[in-house]
Amino acid sequence: MSPLASKLAARIRAEGPVTVAEFMAAALGDPEHGYYRHRNPFGVQGDFITAPEVSQMFGELLGLWLAMTWHQTGSPAPVDVIELGPGRGTLMADAWRAARRIPGFTDAARVTLIETSDRLREVQAQTVGALIPAPRWSDRFAGTAEGPLLLIANEFFDALPIHQFERSAAGWCERLITVGDGDGGLDFTLGAPLPAEPPYLPARSKDAPPGSVWECCPQALEVVGEIARHLEAQGGAAIIIDYGHGRSAVGDTLQAVKDHQYHPVLEDVGAADLTAHVDFEALAYAAKQAGAAVHGPIPQGVFLRALGIEVRHRMLRENATEPQQVQLDAALNRLIGADEMGTLFKVMALTPEGAPPPEGFEAHV
Ligand code: SAH
């Protein structure tokens, strides 16, 4: 058993089973043994590769998107540029290098990185330190932005803890994690039937067959609500990129990944990454409730093509050696290929109500 699994098992023996959300929060964020606190998740040597780590093209195009959106919103100065869950800081560094070419934007930008892991904050400081003047860090979005806001979140929402509910013969029950009878390892179980339907269950899923799993992520809805309220009050735009579904649906999407392989969710707790699909319909609903306009979600491939990734790819290719060209081709395919990140990953933008669709979303309102 991993040290974190032992710690959780002791807690469960003392206090009873934990929810999937409590389990996920501990697995990723436990101050001693949480995945993001001590592992090096990203890249070939890590457990998974995110889009900014695939190629500089991703961050560069988002940097141009930020600068164009800044123009579109009237070039406010100062402007809060905030990234949620920056990982190694690669996206922000590439974005900044590209956005520097647009006069005025980087002079106006006040960068804040929202990161809970001290280890990753250090890595981010190294990545952006020589590049971005006086970046700030915060644990949370709430209270961080002061004026107009430009916000990016890539693969942030999939790491927030979800609750899972399972339809049993006796009705909907919350899925919990307990200590198994046999070897004392962690095991799934069900809580008592709920008096009502689980939170946010859409009408079309009310008659889901027994065994169906419904997931919801209250923390994601809360953060999106805060962002939306801020945009509505102060202006700006937010862009959320993640893997997930455009329409709410039942399905168990909790998954663990270790060394680039799927991994049993309850094994090596704290040493494997844990994520769940992002429910974009739920996020869009939370944003609209808070008064913002929602653009998309559109597939990542469509978005990156609209921003000109193929042109950028050709430019980089012209000055590249042959092995580099092979790498660039592979990266392009990884980012926009339909069977790679192009379709499963989605991009959604939030703006104040009545604002025009940001760059890349025009044709997809
Ligand atoms: N955006 C990066 C990294 C994605 S991994 C990339 O695309 O490469 C998720 C990131 O979110 C990590 O930096 C992790 O430490 C951070 N994170 C996870 N939960 C968080 C929380 N509740 N608050 C702030 N940051 C969090």
Cβ neighbours for 237, distance < 8 A, ≥ 6 positions apart: 69, 72, 73, 149, 150, 151, 231, 349, 350, 351, 355, 358
* Banded model confidence at residue 268, pLDDT cuts 50, 70, 90: very high
Question: What does the pLDDT read at residue 365?
Answer: 43
Cβ neighbours for 182, distance < 8 A, ≥ 6 positions apart: none
211, 167 contact by CB (below 8 A)? yes
> Is 210 exposed, middle or buried (CB count within 10 Å of its CB: 0-12, 13-18, 19+)?
exposed
| Domain assignment of residue 365, yes or no | no
pLDDT in tens, 306-364: 999 999 999 999 999 999 999 999 999 999 999 999 999 999 999 999 999 999 998 65
User: Are 81 and 134 part of one and the same domain?
Assistant: yes
User: Are 264 and 314 part of one and the same domain?
Assistant: yes
Query: Is pLDDT of 302 > 50?
Result: yes
Q: Does 34 contact ligand 1 (Cβ within 6 A)? A: no
User: Are 17 and 114 part of one and the same domain?
Assistant: no
Which of 115-138 are b and which e, b meaning 16 or more Cβ less than 10 Å from the residue's Cβ? bbbeebbebbeebbeebbeebebe
Question: What are the helix (H) ranges across the chain?
Answer: 3-15, 20-29, 35-38, 51-54, 56-72, 90-99, 105-108, 118-128, 218-234, 280-289, 300-306, 309-318, 322-336, 341-344
Q: Does 53 contact ligand 1 (Cβ within 6 A)? A: yes
Q: Does 114 contact ligand 1 (Cβ within 6 A)? A: yes
User: Are 207 and 225 part of one and the same domain?
Assistant: no
Instruction: Find the CATH number of the domain harbouring 325.
Output: 3.40.50.12710
| Domain assignment of residue 361, yes or no | no
| Domain assignment of residue 303, yes or no | yes
Question: Of 198, 215, 232, which residue is a domain's last?
Answer: 215
User: Are 320 and 190 part of one and the same domain?
Assistant: no
pLDDT in tens, 207-228: 999 999 999 999 999 999 999 9
Type of residue numbered 303: F
Question: What does the pLDDT read at residue 37?
Answer: 87
The SS3 assignment for 14 reads helix
Report the number of distinct structural domains present in the chain. 2
| Domain assignment of residue 86, yes or no | yes
Question: What does the pLDDT read at residue 44?
Answer: 78
Q: What's the helix, strand, coil split of the chain in %, to 5?
A: 40, 25, 35
User: Are 97 and 210 part of one and the same domain?
Assistant: no
pLDDT in tens, 85-117: 999 999 999 999 999 999 999 999 999 999 999
pLDDT in tens, 233-262: 999 999 999 999 999 999 999 999 999 999
- DSSP letters spanning 300-318: HHHHHHHTTHHHHHHHHHH
For ligand 1, the distance from its centroid to the CA atom of residue 36, given in whole angstroms, is 8
Q: Is the pTM of this model over 0.95?
A: yes
User: Are 155 and 166 part of one and the same domain?
Assistant: no
In the block, which residue shows the tokens 């006069």?
103
- CA–CA gap between residue 165 and residue 240 (Å, rounded): 25
Question: Of 196, 215, 234, which residue is a domain's last?
Answer: 215
User: Are 235 and 345 part of one and the same domain?
Assistant: yes
User: Are 329 and 253 part of one and the same domain?
Assistant: yes
Q: Which of 161, 176, 174, 165 is nearest to 219 (CA)?
A: 161
Question: What does the pLDDT read at residue 363?
Answer: 60
User: Are 178 and 310 part of one and the same domain?
Assistant: no
* Banded model confidence at residue 47, pLDDT cuts 50, 70, 90: confident
Mean pLDDT of the chain: 95
| Domain assignment of residue 284, yes or no | yes
For ligand 1, the distance from its centroid to the CA atom of residue 86, given in whole angstroms, is 6
User: Are 116 and 211 part of one and the same domain?
Assistant: no
User: Are 283 and 340 part of one and the same domain?
Assistant: yes
The token pair that represents 205 in the structure block: 């899923």
Q: Does 240 contact ligand 1 (Cβ within 6 A)? A: no
Question: What does the pLDDT read at residue 49?
Answer: 92
| Domain assignment of residue 363, yes or no | no
| Domain assignment of residue 297, yes or no | yes
Return the ligand 1 atom nearest residue 155 CA.
Answer: 4
Query: Is pLDDT of 189 > 80?
Result: yes
Q: Does 86 contact ligand 1 (Cβ within 6 A)? A: yes
For ligand 1, the distance from its centroid to the CA atom of residue 195, given in whole angstroms, is 35
Full domain range(s) for residue 325: 50-160+218-352
| Domain assignment of residue 345, yes or no | yes
Q: Does 161 contact ligand 1 (Cβ within 6 A)? A: no
Cβ neighbours for 264, distance < 8 A, ≥ 6 positions apart: 256
- CA–CA gap between residue 189 and residue 174 (Å, rounded): 9
- CA–CA gap between residue 109 and residue 152 (Å, rounded): 13
For ligand 1, the distance from its centroid to the CA atom of residue 172, given in whole angstroms, is 31
Question: Of 191, 215, 239, which residue is a domain's last?
Answer: 215
